[in-house]
Amino acid sequence: MIKILIADDQQLIRESLKLWLESKDEFLVTGMAGDGLAVLDCIRKTVPDIILMDIRMPKLDGVQCTKAIKQEHPEIKIIILTTFDDDEYVYNALKYGASGYLLKGIALDDLCSAIKTVYSGQAMINPDIASTVLKLFYKMANEGFTLSVNKKKADELTATEWKIVREVEKGASNREISQTLNLSEGTVRNYLSTILDKLGLRDRTQLAIWAVQMSLEP
């Protein structure tokens, strides 16, 4: 069962999400919070697997809350939910370790799929802002936000693994990668798991940033 903390400054949204999530056997809502400081307090009592985090909250916004949480609990996965398509928020949320960034208008069934995707260790970016996120990967790489991997391990990537890395760099989904490379989605997932393990990277987001860095190197 996936343990979820809901963080949003609007009570109606908190209660609605709780009601819907708990109608699913695979989810358990362990807490709700209306501001960033309350989120940190909730985590001290019960550590969730996933936090659905509103970006604009009082006392401590979702970006700074993400930063604080990932420093103490890197294992907690955070999905940022917002109505604002704001580049700076996307940039900082991903920089500090968010695993997903979704607009609040997302269909509930798609949110369910996103939670499962992030819980499995992958990143989840709303398609409506995928192009923005891709630009931000380049911004991160150009502004000194770098990721280091073992060069020997990177050199051990196979030709197929490199093809998958380049597709991730473009922002392609597993389905799109499978169609481009004529592989099953299951095979793509297995390749990604192997690639992340080889490079010692946390998730798909870090892999994309690293791939961008590699492309920008002389």
Mean pLDDT of the chain: 84
CB 214 within 8 A of CB 172: no
Q: Distance (Å, rounded) from C-alpha 93 to C-alpha 134? A: 14
What does the pLDDT read at residue 176? 85
Q: How many residues does the chain have?
A: 218
Per-residue pLDDT of the chain (218 residues; tens, 9 = 90+): 999 999 999 999 999 999 999 999 999 999 999 999 999 999 999 999 999 999 888 999 888 999 999 989 989 999 988 876 566 677 777 778 888 888 887 888 888 888 998 888 777 776 666 666 666 666 666 666 666 787 788 888 999 999 999 888 777 778 888 999 999 988 998 999 899 888 888 777 778 778 877 765 54
What does the pLDDT read at residue 77? 93
- pTM value is 0.67
SS3 letters across 111-165: HHHHHHHHHCCCCEECHHHHHHHHHHHHHHHHCCCCCCCCHHHHHCCCHHHHHHH
| pLDDT tens column, 179-196 | 999 999 889 989 998 998
Q: Which residue has the tokens 């991997």?
A: 149
Q: Distance (Å, rounded) from C-alpha 188 to C-alpha 15? A: 37
Q: Distance (Å, rounded) from C-alpha 144 to C-alpha 17? A: 37
| pLDDT tens column, 20-57 | 999 999 999 999 999 999 999 999 999 999 999 998 88
What does the pLDDT read at residue 103? 81
